[in-house]
A and B are shown apart, each in its own frame.
Chain A
Amino acid sequence: MNIVIVGGGKVGTALTEHLSNEGHDVVVIDKDPKVIEESVNQFDVMGICGNGVSHQVQTEAGVAKAHLLIAVTSSDELNILCCLMAKKIGVQHTIARVRNPEYAQQMHFLREELGLSLVVNPEFAAANEIARVLRFPTAINMESFAGDRVDLAEIKLPKDNVLAGMCVHEIASRLKSRVLICAVQRGDAIYIPNGSFRLEAGDRLHITSKRSDMIAFMKELGIYRHRTKNVLISGGGKMGYYLARQLSETGHKVKVIEKDEERARTLAQLLPHATVIVGDGSDRSLLLEQGLDNQDAFVALATMDEENIITTMYAASLGVGKTVAKVNRVSHDLLRSIGIETAVSSKTIAANQIVGYVRALENSGSSSVQTLYKLVEGRVEALEFRITAEDAFYIGRMLKELRIQDDVMIGCILRKGKIIYPCGDDSIETGDGVVVISSHHGFKTFEEIFC
């Protein structure tokens, strides 16, 4: 597929990497020649230096014949304008990143009336993810599928846990609650476990189940933590605003610390149920004064990664139950090695959303990718397929009769609003949604998961 990416910032670069590695013909447009040079050196793509809204630059980039244009410059207005221009020049699909909350309310209009295929709001998506984790603080990370109905949680097995040393097939008989273990991360290795896989303390499990089952499971393991009530957010940017709004709507007590007085005043108007504090969120005495030590959760959303890392570590040392840091540049592996478990990167979230959309565009016919999540630094993919085939060989057959590739697991089946966590006797029907977890990369159709 021919893809034009406008803007070579953090999201743009992440997209360039993913999409060129998946074999697409990528053209990157950016104003800064250094950014272009960097991209062209690192990836097999073409770079064009210029303003992405310029008609001439777009023609030069071959927008007329491209399938998709992705506008991820730092300005919302530029992105929207870029997409509109490209649409007129003749591109088939357009994706724009729009972050401003004022525009975010008119997403529907942007899509339906202006013809943008997808509008991505990374800050909003990241705030959603943080809110999910805070509702379910035992999990290190939470992803959701099928319109938030299916959760995929990452938990860490503590020492001396009942599960340590147990085989996966024994769990059903030893514990009352039923969950599906989709992926296990041990040190640097990733496993998609089968029945004889033996768990060890320190493993990171990615599990999926009904929410009630998941809670029961964690209670049995003795790692369950109640949902958070008091949340302190440092940094009142876009993400902070989205998060505070969501949390206060779901009954949390939210306190937002914002450095800029003007911004703080705006926030106070926008968030009537939250407490807004003016001050430096990295200042220790201010944090203590605002009662950091008796919060249930602390979320660091300042601009600087370093500041977020240090403040979350400080909060954790004070015994705050759940800490979340916004980190855009540092890799999650590195953060884990210094003890920061839950980190959210809007860049990764946006990139995953778009790559998932591209996959969905690509496949035609019997099945299509609905959502794509990259877990464990992108080494495991969780894909939601929509089965549209009427007469494929797998329709109606019991799963235990089908031969599925190694390192691939069917996480759950969504049928008519119901969620089925499948065992060998279940089958796949036309119209189902199927969540597949795999350490392979680049599945585009559902058929590919079979041997």
Chain B
Amino acid sequence: MNYRMVSTTVGKILIAEALLLLLPLSVAFYFHESDTLWAFLATGLLLLLVGGLLEIKKPRHRRIYAREGFMIVAISWMLISCFGALPFLLSGAIRNPIDAVFETVSGFTTTGSSILTNIEAMPKSLLFWRSFTHWIGGMGILMFVLAFLPQRENQSTYIMRAEVPGPSKGKLVSKTMVTARILYAIYFCMTVVEIILLWAGGIPLFDSVTTAFGTAGTGGFSVRNASIAAYDSVYAEIVISLFMLAFGVNFNLYYLLLVRQFKRVFKSDELRWYLGIVATSTVLITLNILPLYDNLAEALRYAGFQVASIITTTGFSTADYTGWPVLSQMLLLTLFCIGACAGSTGGGFKVERLVVICKAALSRIRKSINSREVVSIKLDGNAVDMQYAYNVLAYLAAYVILVFLGIFFICLDNVDMPEAISAVLTCFNNIGPAFGKLGPAGNFSSLSNFSKVVLSFLMLAGRLEIYPMIIVFYYRAWKRKN
């Protein structure tokens, strides 16, 4: 364990967060919100101080391995969430520290579950910061550091692998730094396009920017109490739906489009499954909720938006789906678990993993019929390594175990069983709203502090794909020697 290297890197990340605070700071300045201005300034200075102290001691040797990579990622995410909560506390907008941390973790992990009862009463700069955490967390703050801070050593691969979601972590080009830059460039451009489109559709600029941040990170914080329904604009809903779906696609595919390798994009099994799942569930839910609405178009509008919002793990809402028929609710709960594509900003189990376990199960069935048959699992037309399939199954096991443990803990809070299950699934898969009291119309403020801590842990575990958050609490990983 190279402690110094871990602390230097974490220090760098805290400094990067301090720099990112400049944006909400200027928003506070623009809207003349002096309380929050001071809160941001104090947080920024504190971050610089702590980050500088951690960073100042230069490591003796700079070699890090997978273990340090996981450790850096887990510690950084916990620390940036704690520090990111300070503006809410210092400005007095949120009084309970646990609430503030929950809100920030929910922001950085792009979950979008909120404890705020009246969002519109919050200072604008804090709302901006809340949405901006989505944007930072979507692509990952470590990726940001990798992309823009000078790197002397080539040890960054482990950090990238620990932060980028998905089972296969392909690089676009040889250098990690260049890869990170390309990804951020794509991310940035798509966000800007969405802001412009929303603004052109008559949404106020501030709302356009924050909504675009929420969409890009597939987060789901809105600056309105009624979420997207507040704008009551079909145009905005269509734009947001399309962008949510777009941000849920593996970013590597966009790079392939840019370098004109169209064939490889169309060969992607994951993309086809993803679009297939979206289409199927939209049709089913539309038919199911048809009696509740006036006509087919209306039903399609709400169903389509909700499906896009849930499968990409964004969590915006235009309708309170807790009033929908049980089948629709169950379909949405299933989408909770599936999540977006690997290598996107979305969370969840990831479509790629789903494809692999489905194919693994199918190959097993064929093998039981004819035990001598040699069956290979194929992804994108290439045979999948058995080790890879095994890793996906192991991840599934860890996922299921953690979800169940989480549910048991939340049940201590004396909530309804559907609420407990959906709360854990929504947080672990970084979606946002749950069912029952915790649905789109409600919020998470009624839960106990203990439940909020558990859910915060689950949000981080879900965003970082379980292992980093487990490893950081595993005593053997902390040993100096292997």
Q: How far is the CA of A45 from the CA of B264 in the complex (A)?
A: 21
Report whether B174 and A26 are in contact in the complex, using a CB–CB cutoff of 8 Å: yes
- Contact residues, A284-332 vs B (CB, 8 A): none
Q: Which of B154, B264, B385, B387 contacts A44 (CB under 8 A)?
A: B154
The dominant DSSP class at the A interface is: mixed
- Contact residues, A1-44 vs B (CB, 8 A): 2, 20-21, 24-27, 33, 40-41, 43-44
Report whether A25 and B174 are in contact in the complex, using a CB–CB cutoff of 8 Å: yes
Q: Which of A21, A40, A41, A44 contacts B175 (CB under 8 A)?
A: A44
Q: Which of A21, A46, A60 contacts B174 (CB under 8 A)?
A: A46
Contacts of B175 in A (CB 8 A): 25, 44
Report whether B154 and A46 are in contact in the complex, using a CB–CB cutoff of 8 Å: no
Contacts of A60 in B (CB 8 A): 264
Q: Indicate whether B329 reaches chain A with its CB closer than 8 angstroms.
A: no
Residue of B nearest to A24 (CB): B174
Report whether A41 and B157 are in contact in the complex, using a CB–CB cutoff of 8 Å: yes
For chain B, the count of residues having a C-beta within 8 Å of the partner chain is 15
Q: Indicate whether B176 reaches chain A with its CB closer than 8 angstroms.
A: yes
Residue of A nearest to B161 (CB): A41
Q: Indicate whether B57 reaches chain A with its CB closer than 8 angstroms.
A: no
Residue of B nearest to A65 (CB): B259
CB distance from B389 to the nearest CB of A (A): 12
Report whether A46 and B157 are in contact in the complex, using a CB–CB cutoff of 8 Å: no
Q: Which of A21, A26, A27, A40 contacts B157 (CB under 8 A)?
A: A40
Contacts of A2 in B (CB 8 A): 174
Q: How far is the CA of A46 from the CA of B172 in the complex (A)?
A: 8
Report whether B385 and A46 are in contact in the complex, using a CB–CB cutoff of 8 Å: no
Q: How far is the CA of A60 from the CA of B173 in the complex (A)?
A: 11
Report whether B385 and A33 are in contact in the complex, using a CB–CB cutoff of 8 Å: yes
Q: Mark B169-183, 1 if CB is under 8 A from A, else 0.
A: 001111110100000
Report whether B174 and A45 are in contact in the complex, using a CB–CB cutoff of 8 Å: yes
- Contact residues, A243-301 vs B (CB, 8 A): none
Q: How far is the CA of A41 from the CA of B158 in the complex (A)?
A: 7
Q: How far is the CA of A160 from the CA of B157 in the complex (A)?
A: 52
Report whether B173 and A43 are in contact in the complex, using a CB–CB cutoff of 8 Å: no
Report whether A44 and B156 are in contact in the complex, using a CB–CB cutoff of 8 Å: yes
Q: How far is the CA of A27 from the CA of B172 in the complex (A)?
A: 11
Residue of A nearest to B174 (CB): A25
Report whether A43 and B154 are in contact in the complex, using a CB–CB cutoff of 8 Å: yes
Report whether B173 and A46 are in contact in the complex, using a CB–CB cutoff of 8 Å: yes
Contacts of A24 in B (CB 8 A): 174
- Contact residues, A30-69 vs B (CB, 8 A): 33, 40-41, 43-46, 60
Task: Decide: A27 near B385, CB < 8 A? Known: A20-B154, A40-B157, A44-B154.
Answer: no
CB distance from B243 to the nearest CB of A (A): 29
Q: How far is the CA of A416 from the CA of B176 in the complex (A)?
A: 47
Task: Decide: A21 near B385, CB < 8 A? Known: A44-B176, A46-B171, A46-B173.
Answer: no
Q: How far is the CA of A2 from the CA of B157 in the complex (A)?
A: 19
Contacts of A25 in B (CB 8 A): 173-175, 178
Contacts of B178 in A (CB 8 A): 25
CB distance from A7 to the nearest CB of B (A): 17
Contacts of A40 in B (CB 8 A): 157, 171
Contacts of B158 in A (CB 8 A): 41
Contacts of B264 in A (CB 8 A): 60
Q: How far is the CA of A290 from the CA of B228 in the complex (A)?
A: 91
Q: How far is the CA of A331 from the CA of B387 in the complex (A)?
A: 31
Q: How far is the CA of A251 from the CA of B66 in the complex (A)?
A: 56
Q: How far is the CA of A41 from the CA of B154 in the complex (A)?
A: 10
- Contact residues, B159-214 vs A (CB, 8 A): 171-176, 178
Contacts of B154 in A (CB 8 A): 20-21, 43-44
Contacts of A33 in B (CB 8 A): 385, 387
Q: How far is the CA of A40 from the CA of B154 in the complex (A)?
A: 11
Q: How far is the CA of A33 from the CA of B385 in the complex (A)?
A: 8
Contacts of A46 in B (CB 8 A): 171-174
Residue of A nearest to B151 (CB): A44
Residue of A nearest to B158 (CB): A41
CB distance from A34 to the nearest CB of B (A): 8
Contacts of A44 in B (CB 8 A): 154, 156-157, 174-176
Q: How far is the CA of A27 from the CA of B170 in the complex (A)?
A: 12
Residue of A nearest to B170 (CB): A46
Q: How far is the CA of A132 from the CA of B471 in the complex (A)?
A: 54
Contacts of B172 in A (CB 8 A): 46
Q: How far is the CA of A24 from the CA of B172 in the complex (A)?
A: 15
Contacts of A43 in B (CB 8 A): 154
- Contact residues, B14-59 vs A (CB, 8 A): none
Q: Which of B154, B171, B174 has the most CB of A within 10 A?
A: B174
CB distance from A428 to the nearest CB of B (A): 34
Contacts of A41 in B (CB 8 A): 66, 157-158
- Contact residues, B98-143 vs A (CB, 8 A): none
Residue of A nearest to B178 (CB): A25
Residue of B nearest to A21 (CB): B154
Q: Mark B249-267, 1 if CB is under 8 A from A, else 0.
A: 0000000000000001000
Contacts of B171 in A (CB 8 A): 40, 46
Residue of B nearest to A27 (CB): B174
CB distance from B387 to the nearest CB of A (A): 8
Shortest beta-carbon contacts, A-B, top 4 = A44-B154, A25-B174, A46-B174, A46-B171
- 30 example contacts (A-B, Cβ-Cβ < 8 A) are as follows A2-B174, A20-B154, A20-B174, A21-B154, A24-B174, A25-B173, A25-B174, A25-B175, A25-B178, A26-B174, A27-B174, A33-B385, A33-B387, A40-B157, A40-B171, A41-B66, A41-B157, A41-B158, A44-B154, A44-B156, A44-B157, A44-B174, A44-B175, A44-B176, A45-B174, A46-B171, A46-B172, A46-B173, A46-B174, A60-B264
Give chain A's interface residues, CB within 8 Å of chain B: 2, 20-21, 24-27, 33, 40-41, 43-46, 60
A-B contacts besides A25-B178, A41-B66, 20 pairs, CB < 8 Å = A2-B174, A20-B154, A20-B174, A21-B154, A24-B174, A25-B175, A26-B174, A27-B174, A33-B387, A40-B157, A40-B171, A41-B157, A41-B158, A43-B154, A44-B154, A44-B156, A44-B176, A46-B172, A46-B173, A60-B264
